[in-house]
Amino acid sequence: MFAAALYHAAAIAFPAWGVQAYSATYPLWRHIVFIVNNTVMGAILLHRPMWLLWPYSLLTVQIYYSHGGTFLQRLHDAGRVGWIDLLSVAGATLGVTMLHLEARRRTRARTRSVSIAAATSRQSV
């Protein structure tokens, strides 16, 4: 997430490079939105709260739509791989998978501890 924020910041700082990375009509405000969003999401992701799975899933859908669509269009039209788009889709997929596995692990651990507590309380009666 932090790398994506830096990528958007670089597109603002170096306009000639930014035009190659994004279309010429890509608005400045959108770069700023994604710099803030990716920085905040990255900071939250360090703590991996269970509720983050849902907003991160929405962000992943947005990344599939924008970067995935751009990747497929470049591959079809120009016959070349858009590496940033491919890395964005792969990174988002990895992130949402890791959050899902963490949520499942925590849910199982919580269920197990409740089951153990229930069994212990029955034995002590």
Q: Give pLDDT tens digits for 68-89.
A: 999 999 999 999 999 989 999 9
Count of structural domains within the chain:
1
Domain span including residue 119 = 2-124
Q: Which two tokens stand for residue 123?
A: 């034995």
Q: What is the pLDDT of residues 11-69, one digit of tens each?
A: 999 988 888 778 888 899 999 999 999 999 999 999 989 999 999 999 999 999 999 99
* 52 contacts 15 by C-beta, under 8 angstroms: no
